[in-house]
Amino acid sequence: MRAAGRKAGGCIAFFAVFFTVMMLTHPRESTAITLKGLVHLKSVIPAVFPYLVLSGLLLKSGLDAKIALFTGGLFEKVFKLPRAAFPVFMAGILCGFPVGARCSAELFASGGCTERDADRLSAMCNFCSPPFLITVVGAKLMNSASAGWLLFGLQTFFALAFGFFYRRPTGSVRANACARKRARDAFREEDVSFGIIPAAIGDAALQTLRICGIVLFFSVLSGVAALPFAERLRARPELLGLLYGFFEFSSGCLSLTPGADAACYAALITGFSGLSVLAQCATFLVPSGVSMKGWLCAHLLCPLLTSLSLFLFKTAGIL
């Protein structure tokens, strides 16, 4: 552990020095990159803030427990996860990151699942939201919203497959009992205080501000990292997209050239989701004590399978 910590510290120190030197030697370009990153925040806030508010209301009101009591039975049998995990999974799939990470961490903190369950759950429901895949990847890059739907379907399928094979056969009995108790308690609650609404909004606002800072920081890093290779990468937009996407996925997707090949690269970029999303999810999972092992494995394996599937569809003339 200490050796791993020293290696991680060494890597962080190297990149800190590298990016500091690049920004000091290219001040004009760095300023332009930062201003360009601020523009991206216009799309980040509407994509994150309302979903964080709604997920906060879902958890604070106990509605997630009520939904789980009636709809989580099949999910519990197939994936060996407590019923309370089903609303979290649906919120993560439909809202995208970092909502899934936040809900997984809060479910574990409330006693609704074990740490192992939260690790697996966060790996299953922390991928790109369908609006981005359909409107940006599908409609903009592929000139077809159906291509975005196909990418979303493949992404969800491989996330479910990963969650199924990554499951452990033991460990959810006590969590299931706790989840059922939460559901019964939620039904016995006659009144829900309206105080949960401003509380959810305030929490979401602070979390959105933190996420915006993370997105802006990694957007700047992606632009600065590309400065030494700018001339060479202009003729290879797919490589530029992968470089940007390693840091921040939206910048990577938007730098791709529209066409049939764009979907394959976009699948890699959105599936891995970049260091920015890794940092966003870590802000919820790490403080709660939930491991990110499953999250990392899913974000390395699922994008490769999704991209390969899209390539086969393209080769067969389906895409």
The residue ranges of every structural domain in the chain are: 29-315
% the chain with pLDDT above 70: 82
Burial letters 49-71, b for 16+ CB under 10 A, else e: bebbbebbbbbbbbebbbbbbee
pLDDT in tens, 118-151: 888 888 888 888 888 888 788 888 888 888 898 8
pLDDT in tens, 5-32: 455 566 677 767 877 887 777 778 788 8
Residue 263: pLDDT band with limits 50, 70, 90: confident
Render 215-229 in DSSP notation, one character per residue. Answer: HHHHHHHHHHHHGGG
Q: Between these two residues, 185 and 233, which has the higher pLDDT value?
A: 233
| Alpha-carbon gap, residue 48 to 95, rounded angstroms | 8
Q: What is the mean pLDDT of the chain?
A: 79
Over residues 40-66, mean pLDDT: 75
Residue 301: pLDDT band with limits 50, 70, 90: very high
Nearest to 60 by CA among 23, 125, 110: 110
The pLDDT score that the predictor gives to residue 194 is: 66
C-alpha Rg value of the chain to the nearest Å: 20
CB atoms within 10 A of CB 7: 10
Nearest to 303 by CA among 262, 260, 269: 269
| Alpha-carbon gap, residue 285 to 99, rounded angstroms | 11
pLDDT in tens, 186-245: 444 445 566 778 888 888 888 888 888 888 888 888 888 887 777 777 777 788 888 888
Beta strands in 117-221 (DSSP E): none
Q: Which residue has the tokens 């509605």?
A: 63
Alpha carbons within 13 angstroms on the beta-carbon side of residue 162 total 29
